[in-house]
Amino acid sequence: MGDKKKTREILLRERAETLEEMNFTKKSVEYEADYVYGEGDPGIVEREKGMALTQSLSAKLAAIDHALERLDQGVYGLCTECGKEINPERLEVLPYATLCIKCKSELERHA
């Protein structure tokens, strides 16, 4: 399973970028929070978008941390559901993926 050091670098870079993006989004949401919206104000949608983005970014951050942990445990790149290797191409696109495509699509189908 690939180069551990390189994978860690990729994950750490992704982590730093996510943190930066999160701080940026948070700041804009906080800034907007001072503003009093009227009904049907398009700013409300923007603010909700920002909050949703912050949430998805923090979920991403948790996934990256999880992947780093798994790297330390030597189980990085293995599906947490079935234990099989996750497709390397999938990991290249989504280095913090913890499910193989098969398990992920099965989970989504049951969601």
Helix, strand or coil for residue 78?
strand
By CB under 5 A, residue 33 contacts Zn ion: no
Read off the tokens for 48. 């909700």
By CB under 5 A, residue 100 contacts Zn ion: yes
Q: Which one-letter DSSP state was computed for residue 99? A: S
| CA pair distance 47, 65, nearest whole angstrom | 27
Chain positions 71 to 90 lying near Zn ion, rule: CB under 5 A, are 79, 81-82
Q: What amino acid occupies position 53?
A: L
Q: Which of 81, 59, 77 is nearest to 68 (CA)?
A: 77
| CA pair distance 20, 30, nearest whole angstrom | 15
- Interacting residue with Zn ion among 29, 51, 94, 103 (CB under 5 A): 103
Q: Which stretch binds Zn ion (CB under 5 A): 5-13, 18-26, 52-60, 97-105?
A: 97-105
CB of 111 to Zn ion, least distance (A): 16
Q: Which stretch binds Zn ion (CB under 5 A): 10-18, 55-63, 66-74, 102-110?
A: 102-110
Footprint on this chain of Zn ion (rule: CB under 5 A) = 79, 81-82, 100, 103
